[in-house]
Amino acid sequence: MSLFKLGEKDADGRQKRVEHTGRYLRASRTGGIALRGQVKAAGINLTGNTSHGVRVSTRLAKNTQVALQNGRFVLRGRYGSDAAKFNLSKSGVTVSSKTDVGTFNWVKPGRSSFKWGGIQLRGHNAAYLNAAYMAVKLALEAIQFAFKLAWRMGEWIVRVVGYCTVRYQLAQEAKARLDLSVESAQSTGWTILKTHAVDLNDWDTGDLLAAMIFTLTVLGRGDDQLDVERSGITADSQALAARYVENIQRTGEQVKAWLGQSAAHRDPTAICGVMVVLTAAWAARVSDDERSQAIFLLDDACLQHGPRTLLQEDLIDLLPAALGVELTLAANDSSGAVS
């Protein structure tokens, strides 16, 4: 044991009360120096102290002690948690709360204690110091709570604004979509072809596919020319094989002649109509497998330039019906393979 318990910590990690407590000698700041002795027999403690006289004590029940101090009856009891501990004595019951610096008695503040740096105080001064400590701690916790609340509210506001923004954008996109049926688009497309005296029976299968690719990937994006480098067309490109480049550019000029050379003056409904009649004419000449693969090949070609535009979304939506293909969602079997 170090001198006067300097450097020793109590159960709460604080410096113990600065005092000397030997077997027979006790020296403290408030109690002075006193000799004491203690014996115990049959559950009764007998303690003699040069400063406080003789005390006889025993435990009446758990956390309850009765004693005679120099002939004076003493009753002590401690029950409950540190947050609200009930203290029993001859004069009645009080409630106290343990703090980081001591104990504050709510009923009789004069029975409070305060300890800092190993120095312990009791009485009203201890109550004042405890009250000041609790007020400062409460203020700091209130500030911390306010910051946390403001941060949470800020996060909530950002999420709500983000959600509303996304919903607004989706609503605007939905309003901008043409929502055409394949029959309506096909009727528009045939009208345009008749106006320009176009007979698709004179077109071969490759030219029809090339015109479909140009309409979807170029006109659907609001462009006028096929950008080969930007499209990522290579000799082994799955969606746009290099041999189609010349056909795409050539047939694209004819499609623009039907719809108008200026991108600003082209009617999106007309573009959808031409795409549908070109697709239907091509689908009538190829196998079922080729029609099924065409949806994915055309979609891949569309994505070579980046995310689809709203017009390209409309064109892609019309493709299955124009090709005569029914799309179904594949399900995973128990082994995890796609069926």
What pLDDT sits at residue 17? Answer: 67
Q: For the ranges 145-149, 187-191, 235-239, which has the lowest average pLDDT?
A: 235-239
In tens, the pLDDT along 119-176 reads: 778 888 888 898 898 899 999 999 999 999 999 999 999 999 998 888 887 777 666 6
Residue 335, pLDDT score: 45
Tokens 């004076």, located at residue: 72
More confident residue, 50 or 287: 287
Distance, in Å, from the CA atom of 193 to the CA atom of 200, rounded to the nearest integer, reads: 9
- In degrees and rounded to multiples of 5, residue 219 shows phi and psi of -65, -35
Whether the CB-CB separation of 59 and 53 falls below 8 Å is answered with no
Whether 269 and 237 have beta carbons less than 8 Å apart is answered as no
For residues 244 and 264, what is the distance between their CA atoms, to the nearest angstrom? 27
Of 91-100, 151-160, 185-194, 207-216, which range is least confident? Answer: 91-100
Residue 5 has a pLDDT of 67
| Structure-block tokens of residue 82 | 């540190």
Strand 119-122 relative to strand 53-61, pairing: unpaired
Give the model's pLDDT for residue 277: 95
Nearest-angstrom CA–CA distance, 308 and 316: 9
Better-scored residue on pLDDT, 205 or 84: 205
pLDDT digits over 174-184, tens only?
666 778 899 99
Instruction: Give the chain's mean pLDDT.
Output: 81
- Where are the alpha helices (H) located in 177-287, listed in sequence order? 182-195, 205-217, 228-231, 245-259, 268-283
